[in-house]
């Protein structure tokens, strides 16, 4: 069947898109959550109970992000965004990742539904600001001057993901939904394929192996994101 090229592409990325940049995934063998207990590191309760351990964990991850470089999958998505924009279309890039590799590859609009590791949130005044260095419990908030209230601006288990309305509106207005490098096990992101299918939007997953919700997609491309993403976008003329 010959299809007309998509004009509004919605891409959801997960940890797998950054795997070839050396940033570990969560649920693969040897992944982050097989080595560390997320309930002790990635919940508001864990931070209240043991802030130093939680801050250390994210300080280490921040160093990893700063040392990493974007790979061919990030670059291909940035190129596709520019090519679609040049022909009057758009690519909405929604990521579950807290790294900044999409931005560094050249993507102009990136929606971080699980927050950003290179941003800090003050729990007292709720302001956020950019930060590339470690967060310490002795730090003073530059906005409200309180001490010990800073945390990474990442979404923890039990917290609401960011930008849900904008994400769902963009998804509803798209004609192609592509999920890249995500296991499909964390909601609401894992439910986006069903939202897309309910609106008759074409859906495709690109992953190393079938994800938990692989059956929900119309089509799939299996392989490393660094090869499979550029190849799929090339199929679309992007």
Closer Cβ to ligand OAD, 92 or 232, answer by number: 232
Residue of 114, 143, 162, 163 with catalytic role:
114
For residues 146 and 160, what is the distance between their CA atoms, to the nearest angstrom?
24
Minimum Å gap between C-beta 162 and ligand OAD is 11
Minimum Å gap between C-beta 25 and ligand OAD is 3
**Total Cβ atoms within 10 A of residue 178:** 28
Quote the DSSP letter at residue 216. G
Find tokens 């798209």 and name the residue: 174
**CA separation, residue 143 to residues 118, 123, 140 (Å):** 17, 11, 9
**CA separation, residue 57 to residues 78, 129, 148, 163, 202 (Å):** 30, 19, 17, 25, 39
Closer Cβ to ligand OAD, 186 or 196, answer by number: 186
Active site residue 163: no
Minimum Å gap between C-beta 140 and ligand OAD is 27
Q: Classify residue 100 as exposed, middle or buried by CB count within 10 Å of its CB (0-12, 13-18, 19+).
A: buried
Q: Classify residue 88 as exposed, middle or buried by CB count within 10 Å of its CB (0-12, 13-18, 19+).
A: exposed
Closer Cβ to ligand OAD, 31 or 51, answer by number: 31
Positions that interact with ligand OAD (CB under 6 A): 14-16, 19-20, 25-28, 31, 42, 96, 114, 155, 181-183, 185-186, 207-209, 211, 224-225
Closer Cβ to ligand OAD, 24 or 89, answer by number: 24
Tokens (6 digits) for 94: 């929604």
Catalytic residue positions? 114
């Amino acid at each position: 069947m010959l299809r007309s090229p998509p004009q509004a592409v919605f891409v959801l990325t997960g940890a797998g898109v950054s795997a070839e940049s050396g940033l570990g995934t969560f649920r693969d063998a040897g992944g982050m959550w097989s080595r560390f207990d997320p309930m002790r590191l990635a919940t508001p309760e864990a931070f209240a109970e043991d802030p130093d351990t939680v801050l250390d964990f994210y300080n280490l991850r921040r160093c990893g992000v700063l040392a990493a470089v974007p790979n061919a999958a990030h670059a291909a998505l940035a190129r596709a965004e520019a090519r679609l924009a040049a022909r009057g279309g758009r690519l909405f890039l929604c990521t579950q990742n807290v790294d900044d590799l999409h931005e560094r590859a050249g993507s102009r609009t990136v929606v971080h539904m699980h927050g950003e590791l290179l941003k800090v949130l003050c729990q007292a005044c709720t302001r956020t600001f950019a930060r590339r260095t470690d967060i310490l419990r002795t730090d003073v908030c530059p906005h409200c001057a309180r001490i010990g209230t800073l945390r990474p601006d990442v979404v923890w288990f039990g917290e609401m993901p960011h930008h849900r309305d904008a994400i769902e509106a963009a998804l509803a207005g798209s004609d192609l939904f592509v999920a890249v490098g995500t296991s499909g096990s964390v909601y609401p992101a894992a439910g986006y394929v069903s939202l897309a299918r309910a609106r008759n939007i074409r859906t495709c997953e690109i992953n190393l192996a079938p994800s938990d919700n692989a059956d929900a997609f119309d089509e799939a491309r299996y392989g490393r994101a660094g090869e499979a993403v550029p190849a799929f976008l090339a199929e679309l003329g992007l």
